[in-house]
Structure 1
């Protein structure tokens, strides 16, 4: 009875909303590229997504407009938006109404929370920025963040600890997966019937989110932030979101994100082997790895989804001198290896674990966009095992190319390698992109039909050699 009622309520909500809203045609919405399904397509054209933001829930920010303007000005078109409400900075809001008695009513909304969400979608759409939503963030419901949360029974008028099975504190890292909040789907191993009482409010919140987001064609949906919960949890929400999208007569792309740093490990295999569920893949956790291992893992994933091509995103690039998951150099290198390695989308993670939208990140985004103006990346293939490069040290250079037409070599720290152009006749125009200066030098000519020595014009630094057929 409950599910049937929710379905009717949801359908009614959507019909009312869509009768008064303009919904984009599917051809204009963000979708898997029809020409090359390893990439995205937006407004009917293939697109590579580049981003960097200073926190994970930008819809809550008071300075969002300025931040998006800065991102767009350097060629950025991709942000992460967790539906997070934890009080990190003090200006964040919860989605539910706060009553005069100091408790929340989960049956009533806080309209300002949802207005902030829609404003973010409007501002990003105006700037052709793609939003990757994360529906659930496990950190919102553990440790100090659980204490004031509206879902905590002591903070609402809707249920008690005894009725729900919740406890007053969850002091362990949420990776321990002890929070019943993520086990309330019938059929899950830890499911208990009593969990239905709070699960109905989860459904209500997701339906409210979708009533705002589905009319916008610039949205991708990821179920979780680095979850350790059984895949059934995320799959339930994927099915629910796709059903609501079907009722609204729109298509959406959904995935999930697992916690394991080793993206070859078992938890991630569910993503690779179930394309009928996961429309794209997010392997952000690979950005804990460095150097050649980081590159090799990307190529392993590409090979393992070759039978059913889909875009691969990394919405979080770790690496900053202020953080714990690699230094600033690691963050910069990961950004370039991701795109040279064939990924469809990549974004610098927030400080202090990432470079965010710092001046450094801005320079690298701008330079990448400059490169994409010179190279047709949609027709390039990564040289996965560096077979066209010789006299190369580990992590010295990475190549992507359309053989005989265009070549791009990324050098993380200067150096020189030999590029095999034996099977590529003719003359090639060559330019150097000095990444941190966002500058291109004058063109030189390189003759094909032989092996060519490519040496960075200065000692050290981040450089890209660009060769295009004349």
Structure 2
């Protein structure tokens, strides 16, 4: 009898274990099975919206990190970018390697505080259901003024020389020139095993933390101009490490080319078997109608293999180098209504970061979700007439819900001729983040919609 009970207990525990593993896998961030243009997390569809004030929040000490994450959570932001960057921008950033008394680094020994910060960041974002998109390599860390003090620079470590590593001690050019030998190490490039072994070491250390969490997405680089072989190597290595642990994760690459129709981006678009999502953030270097049209071109191009299209950084802030505050707000809203799976405001000075304006956009978007989810909508500018270029953009669930974004006041006609019923009309002030007015309108014809003022407005028309 005792043996029978023991056998039953073993079988029960195996079944329970199998069930828990299945549940854990289902909880991860992944393309939504019912609509793979969007994400699913913890078994539910989710729209990823973000606004944060740095690229590498994991470097922030807890006393400023925690309030930042709490402010995001308060307004409904649930998405952050995290480059594994260690350049010394604010004075508190750490390198991952141990610094010796000699002043040089040992690439075989870790700086534990760096990795503790990383793990704390992952824990705190997980607590708040904030999805993290990691960028494994940031080319700006390895060139110009950031390269001379870096531990990977052969003059700063005890592990290899210039001759052994094939690295120069200076790289004065913009990293877009792609002259840094650091990005040519993989077997199908220059097969630089001396340096590659240390690159693998730091990536595997990062994965030893990140793969313990289900809320992490992986992008190989920040706006890279590297060869395709570089991206393929790291994508397959990271996917392989996850597979060894029985985990499924999603990886992508972010190409620097501002034109989404370029051959560079097809390196990602054409390989759904490797890249479960695409990051098209560099579309945010475009403006106006071209910005919208190029994004819609991508949706058409990958229609046979739809995947989430992420925009982890939205450029545009007065005083920055990549457009004005108005550009930033327009770009963010065009992507949200155009069918992006994620939209995040870039950090200052090139973006609005976590600011009053960015938070108000997130608040308005979350208010809209009380009426209609963005994944229920489709781009529908064809239902507008008397529309000027870049005047207004529409996403619709015809007959039920319509969301209309005005870039700078104006008026358009919305075709409701097929639906003879009453609709509610709400006007949201994007910059103030509030509902201005609500009224009833009648369908069955063309309805003129005039923004209540200048600048950016969102109208929500609902017939539910």
Q: TM-score range by the shorter chain?
A: over 0.9
What residue is the counterpart of 2:47 in the other structure? 48
3-state SS of 2:419 partner: coil
3-state SS of 1:66 partner: helix
Name structure 1 gaps, 5 residues minimum.
1-21
Q: How does 1:57-206 map to 2 (within 5 A)?
A: 57-62=56-61, 63-188=64-189, 191=190, 193=191, 195-206=192-203
TM-score normalised by length of structure 1: 0.92
Q: What is the CA distance between 1:461 and its match in structure 2?
A: 2.8
What residue is the counterpart of 1:15 in the other structure? none
Given that 1:143 and 1:172 are in contact with CA atoms closer than 8 Å, whether structure 2 keeps it comes out as: yes
When the two structures are aligned, how many residues end up with a matched partner? 443
Q: What is the CA distance between 1:376 and its match in structure 2?
A: 2.1
Output one character per residue of 1:13-60: Cα deviation in whole Å (capped at 9) or x when no partner: xxxxxxxxx997111110001111000001111111111111100000
What residue is the counterpart of 1:461 in the other structure? 455
Q: Report the Cα distance in structure 1 between the residues aligned to 2:177 and 2:437, rounded to whole angstroms.
A: 55
Q: What is the CA distance between 1:274 and its match in structure 2?
A: 1.0
Q: How does 1:356-375 map to 2 (within 5 A)?
A: 356-375=353-372
Q: Report the Cα distance in structure 2 between the residues aligned to 1:416 and 1:375, rounded to whole angstroms.
A: 23
Q: Report the Cα distance in structure 1 between the residues aligned to 2:168 and 2:424, rounded to whole angstroms.
A: 66
Q: Report the Cα distance in structure 2 between the residues aligned to 1:340 and 1:105, rounded to whole angstroms.
A: 49
What residue is the counterpart of 2:331 in the other structure? 334
Q: Report the Cα distance in structure 2 between the residues aligned to 1:418 and 1:138, rounded to whole angstroms.
A: 47
3-state SS of 2:24 partner: coil
Output one character per residue of 1:163-198: Cα deviation in whole Å (capped at 9) or x when no partner: 11111111111111111111111112xx1x5x2101
Q: Report the Cα distance in structure 1 between the residues aligned to 2:254 and 2:125, rounded to whole angstroms.
A: 23
Q: Report the Cα distance in structure 1 between the residues aligned to 2:342 and 2:372, rounded to whole angstroms.
A: 16
TM-score normalised by length of structure 2: 0.93
The root-mean-square deviation of aligned C-alpha atoms, in Å, is: 1.4
Q: Report the Cα distance in structure 1 between the residues aligned to 2:28 and 2:366, rounded to whole angstroms.
A: 22
Q: Report the Cα distance in structure 1 between the residues aligned to 2:132 and 2:444, rounded to whole angstroms.
A: 44
| 1:155/1:23 CA distance change after superposition, 3 Å | farther
Structure 1 outlier segments of 4+, above 4 Å: none
Q: What is the CA distance between 1:439 and its match in structure 2?
A: 1.9
What residue is the counterpart of 1:232 in the other structure? 229
Q: What is the CA distance between 1:263 and its match in structure 2?
A: 1.1
Name structure 2 gaps, 5 residues minimum.
1-20
What residue is the counterpart of 1:344 in the other structure? 341
Q: What is the CA distance between 1:443 and its match in structure 2?
A: 3.3
Q: Report the Cα distance in structure 1 between the residues aligned to 2:280 and 2:445, rounded to whole angstroms.
A: 37
Q: Report the Cα distance in structure 2 between the residues aligned to 1:24 and 1:172, rounded to whole angstroms.
A: 49
Q: Report the Cα distance in structure 2 between the residues aligned to 1:434 and 1:168, rounded to whole angstroms.
A: 52
What residue is the counterpart of 2:423 in the other structure? 428
Q: Report the Cα distance in structure 2 between the residues aligned to 1:128 and 1:423, rounded to whole angstroms.
A: 41
Q: Report the Cα distance in structure 2 between the residues aligned to 1:284 and 1:40, rounded to whole angstroms.
A: 17
